[in-house]
């Protein structure tokens, strides 16, 4: 046997010169691949944290190549996925039918990219897929290349502010920032799913000629791959190894109200009373940022929020729950700064001034990758919020949002930010999930501004960040939500109406808000939020003379005039009529990893046209939603997937699938089609 290969306990190890590669079964129908030029692998499983089988069949065999050369290869097989590795270290993946799904990119001066070419005992004249360049210590700048496939279409990878749902031809930055969430799992129309199980900062290019992953500083490559006959099967297998979302509580499926920002307890209660007295359904109202004394003290400012328990009691009497915004920032003058500094609970800086962020005041970030930090911060949050009746939490600035976004400056408990930075949002969500569970709460829902692979199992409800109030931005959010779902994050939403520059007096914004609100009714969570113009509200002054954070104009459904209010109320009522259907969608996400918002191909993979539709989607399995993205448009053209008949939920007209139709879309109408005979049609039309 070639000494490069070593087989033990269902795993294949390849050792040649500096490099070690390990391939092993991970879950049913999955393979995990790690490679490094260090002597050992790290002990981190990152997103692959679920307790799953690690079995596979492994063997070696000899094959005759077309160059009349007998080549020794190793094979590892786990259900529907197989990997083959040559004695010079090249890897390719095949499905149960022998179709090549993905193959490492390799060039030879002699024979090109032929998997069965000559064995190479020296590297001269050969170009290998895995390349390492030391950057100091045990870390490397690593690139990995796979051959491209002209027919391939790629979906997932989290949320990026663009309109192309199919990511083939895209270059994506692997970095968490406001409005961008890196979740490095994708589904290919070639029949496989791929997770880059590495939280390092980098980029990926899904080129026509090849796919290249690049990391600036990391100890190893680590990825997982599965095969599947359908996107649904691939998502099921992926969520089995990374975890599935909990069952969303019923109240979180209703309507959420928030704005930037309610300045006082009485202001918030007056808004809640406004909904209650008008008979407008409302399940959740949110206290946004700077309700606190100082960042990093995690408690209500008693001057403006004098009786949190009483506030919660009154809200409860109206059937409304309270959600509170929490930041991971610690003001330099916070009462907790000395203790957290002395106990190494803050993100470190490698050089320069320790001035990590500034919003009203200079602050540093709590290091949520440190379990001691999570325990310390949670104890404060539990005492000051949860024990006072707060229902859930909004985890803002979750990237975290450094003023200087150069990750080589920062260092976490788990390692350099360049190496581990993308996983910060998952540990942030984990703190709340573990804390709530320990407190006996099973209904964990944390609104988070960023997510990474596996965040879904911690009850992470991702939102798309502080986006602009434009029709183009609106369209981008639909694509973002669909790719987040395909990346394994089924709970997602966007600020209805966008966050920045929406003017409550502007007819353009009124139209945008009505269109966006209709989409919100068919999002996993329906949440109205935004920093509205004009900014003419006086800023409150604390008793100590400190100016508090500003706020924008009113942002309640009655704040935009009676005509707009009528449309918004229509879609809130529709949302509540559909709650049994929405609950079933959430149950599917919990049990199988299925996205709530889905591209058309998810349920219709055999219809080739569905793989190219980026401006409409399925809400669950039975409702086709076609938002209107153009100002002034009063009609909508869309494609109906073949394989079923569809009923226009607005007109009642029946259409056979497999055709493109144009339907009326006045400003108070969202084009909706329902599978024929699906019970949800009666909920929509009642």
Task: Give the residue numbers marked as catalytic.
Answer: 396, 399, 466
- Tell me the C-alpha distance between 560 and 449, whole Å: 27
CB 488 within 8 A of CB 235: yes
Beta strands in 420-564 (DSSP E): 446-448, 460-463, 492-493, 500-503, 526-528, 531-533
**Residue 351: how many CB atoms within 10 A of its CB?**
6
> Is the sign of the CA dihedral 557, 558, 561, 563 positive or negative?
positive
What angle do helix axes 579-592 and 231-242 make, rounded to 10 degrees?
Answer: 70
Six-digit token string for 266: 């009485």
- Tell me the C-alpha distance between 104 and 677, whole Å: 47
Cβ neighbours of residue 286 closer than 8 Å, sequence gap 6 or more: 256, 257, 258, 322, 323, 324, 325, 394, 529
CB 468 within 8 A of CB 499: yes
Three-class SS state of 386: helix
**Residue 577: how many CB atoms within 10 A of its CB?**
15
Cβ neighbours of residue 619 closer than 8 Å, sequence gap 6 or more: 522, 585, 596, 597, 598, 625
Which letter, b or e, does each residue of 247-256 get, where b requires 16 or more Cβ atoms within 10 Å of its Cβ?
ebbebbbbbb
- Tell me the C-alpha distance between 60 and 660, whole Å: 52
**Residue 561: how many CB atoms within 10 A of its CB?**
12
CB 182 within 8 A of CB 426: no
Six-digit token string for 193: 């799913």
Three-class SS state of 185: strand
- Tell me the C-alpha distance between 131 and 136, whole Å: 16
- Tell me the C-alpha distance between 489 and 643, whole Å: 28
């Amino acid at each position: 046997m070639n000494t490069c290969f070593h087989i033990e306990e269902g795993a294949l190890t390849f050792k040649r010169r500096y490099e070690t590669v390990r391939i092993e079964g991970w879950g049913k129908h999955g393979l995990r691949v790690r490679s490094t030029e260090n002597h050992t692998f790290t002990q981190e499983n990152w997103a692959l944290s679920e307790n799953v089988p690690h079995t596979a069949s492994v063997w070696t065999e000899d094959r005759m190549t077309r160059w009349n050369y007998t080549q020794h290869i190793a094979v590892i097989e786990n259900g529907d996925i197989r990997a083959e590795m040559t004695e010079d270290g090249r890897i390719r993946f095949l499905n149960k039918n022998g179709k090549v799904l993905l193959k490492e990119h390799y060039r030879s001066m002699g024979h090109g990219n032929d998997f069965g070419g000559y064995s190479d005992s020296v590297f001269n004249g050969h170009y290998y897929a895995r390349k390492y360049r030391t950057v100091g210590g045990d870390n490397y700048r690593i690139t990995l290349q796979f051959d491209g496939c002209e027919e391939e279409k790629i979906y997932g990878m989290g949320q990026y502010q663009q309109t192309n749902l199919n990511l083939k031809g895209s270059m994506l930055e692997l970095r968490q920032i406001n409005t961008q969430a890196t979740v490095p799992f994708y589904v290919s129309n070639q029949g496989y799913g791929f997770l880059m199980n590495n939280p390092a900062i980098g980029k990926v290019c899904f080129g026509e000629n090849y796919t290249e992953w690049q990391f600036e500083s990391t100890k190893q490559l680590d990825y997982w791959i599965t095969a599947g006959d359908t996107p649904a099967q691939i998502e099921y297998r992926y969520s089995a190894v990374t975890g599935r979302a909990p069952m969303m509580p019923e109240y979180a499926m209703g309507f959420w109200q928030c704005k930037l920002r309610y300045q006082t307890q009485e202001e918030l209660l007056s808004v809640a009373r406004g909904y209650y007295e008008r008979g407008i359904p409302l399940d959740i109202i949110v206290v946004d940022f700077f309700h606190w004394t100082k960042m990093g003290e995690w408690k209500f400012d008693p001057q403006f929020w004098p009786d949190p328990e009483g506030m919660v009691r009154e809200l409860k009497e109206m059937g409304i729950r309270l959600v509170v915004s929490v930041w991971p920032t610690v003001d330099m003058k916070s009462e907790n700064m000395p203790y957290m500094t002395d106990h190494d609970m803050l993100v470190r800086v490698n050089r320069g001034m320790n001035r990590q962020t500034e919003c009203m005041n200079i602050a540093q970030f709590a290091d949520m990758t440190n379990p001691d930090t999570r325990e310390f911060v949670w104890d404060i949050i539990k005492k000051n919020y949860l024990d006072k009746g707060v229902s859930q939490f909004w985890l803002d600035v979750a990237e975290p949002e450094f003023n200087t976004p150069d990750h080589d400056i920062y260092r976490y408990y788990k390692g350099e930010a360049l190496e581990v930075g993308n996983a910060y949002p998952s540990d942030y969500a984990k703190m709340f999930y573990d804390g709530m569970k320990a407190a006996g709460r099973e209904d964990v829902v944390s609104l988070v501004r960023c997510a990474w692979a596996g965040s879904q199992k911690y009850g992470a409800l991702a939102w798309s960040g502080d986006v602009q109030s434009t029709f183009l931005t609106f369209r981008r959010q639909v694509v973002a939500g669909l790719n987040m779902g395909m990346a394994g994050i089924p709970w997602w939403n966007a600020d209805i109406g966008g966050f920045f520059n929406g003017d409550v007096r502007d007819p353009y914004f009124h139209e945008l808000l009505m269109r966006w609100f209709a989409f919100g009714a068919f999002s996993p969570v329906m949440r109205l939020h935004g920093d509205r113009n004009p900014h003419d509200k006086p800023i409150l002054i604390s008793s100590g003379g400190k100016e508090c954070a500003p706020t924008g104009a009113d942002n309640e459904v009655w704040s935009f005039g009676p005509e707009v209010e009528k449309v918004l109320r229509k879609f809130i009522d529709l949302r509540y009529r559909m709650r049994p259907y929405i609950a079933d969608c959430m149950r599917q996400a919990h049990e199988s990893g299925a996205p709530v918002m889905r591209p058309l191909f998810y349920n219709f993979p055999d219809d080739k046209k569905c793989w190219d539709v980026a401006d409409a989607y399925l809400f669950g399995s039975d409702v086709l939603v076609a938002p209107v993205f153009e100002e002034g448009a009063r009609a909508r053209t869309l494609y109906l997937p073949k394989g079923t008949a569809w009923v226009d939920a607005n007109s009642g007209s029946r259409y056979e699938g497999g055709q493109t139709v144009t339907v009326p879309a006045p400003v108070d109408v969202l084009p909706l089609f329902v599978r024929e005979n699906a019970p949800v049609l009666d909920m929509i039309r009642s």
